[in-house]
Amino acid sequence: MKKNELHIAYQSFEKVEELQPNDLVLVNHAIAAAAVAYAPYSGFHVGASLRLKNGEIVKGSNQENSAYPSGLCAERVALFYAGSQFPNTEIEAMAVTARTPGKKLKMIVKPCGACRQVMLETAQRQKTPFKIILVGEDGQGLLFDSIADLIPFSFEFE
């Protein structure tokens, strides 16, 4: 048996001001989306925003439902909206953030496995990877050039 290693490429930042101006705008849209999340059960408010190649910004927030698991994550809300309203427009970047009203999250939230798979298939469908920016409440974060770095052993049909 051979031991293998997996290397993941990403950048980290301490403050969102380190980001490029257009990425900072995207993060601010994700923060605004998190503010309108419907999360009465978990109290975990997630916001996502996408920058499309045509300059459009698409936002999504998590939407919970008492008939669990009928709710949907913020990332998939944004991705599915973009896919239905702008089906032939590539995504350039995605920002994701979360907050918990009443207390400060000390972590940088990462997309769940289902969202990562949808992100991967979206990138495969558009034949172009897109940047992913994950931001914590304190402004620190991680930047990935591709979803492939967040889901290295993905489910693929090819």
Short-list 126, 93, 97, 128, CA closest to 110: 97
**Within a 13 Å sphere around the CA of 84, how many CA atoms are in the beta-carbon half?**
6
Catalytic residue flag (residue 75) = yes
Within 10 Å of residue 63's Cβ, how many Cβ atoms? 17
Contact 86, 17 (CB under 8 A): no
Q: How far apart are CA 29 and CA 31, in angstroms?
A: 5
Torsion angles phi and psi, residue 38, rounded to 5: -105, 95
Marked catalytic residue, from 18, 64, 75, 92? 75
- Residues acting as catalytic residues: 75
